[in-house]
Homo-oligomer: A and B are copies of this chain.
């Protein structure tokens, strides 16, 4: 990911710590893609009927993190209110998904990876919220 490089070459003045912001975007992008993959891995499990909640929360988390990554990647006419509301939605989605995946992390390795990614993403979003 060339996220930081794209920020450093952006003509707008970015008022947030770009190293942190870049790390959050990368976390969000990774989380969106990992949750998409985890939903599909759960769908292929023999016990798919027991993984409905996990699939649903994975799909939600992917949608929220994906949209937030795109919004955070924009610096023209920055609006802190939209960003803050979205980061808060991400924290909720990542907590829900991290908890759900974490609850069967011992049974399914893809859920273990996904839980780790969701938790890291939630922590990154909270770190950014704290300095905004």
Contacts and interface: CB of A to CB of B under 8 A. Distances in A.
Contact of A52 (B2, B10, B33, B76): B76
Interface string A34-64: 1011111101111011001101110110111
A106 to B, nearest CB: 13
A6 B37 contact: yes
Contacts of A82: 57, 60, 64, 89, 92-93, 96
A67 B67 CA distance: 7
Contact of A33 (B1, B55, B63): B1
Given A1-B33, A64-B86, A77-B52, A41 B110 contact: no
Chain A contact residues: helix, strand, loop or mixed: helix
Interface string A8-39: 01111000000000000100011001101111
Given A71-B63, A76-B53, A9 B110 contact: yes
Contact of A109 (B1, B9, B91): B9
Interface centre among A33, A44, A88 (most CB of B within 10 A): A33
Given A10-B110, A34-B6, A48-B49, A43 B55 contact: yes
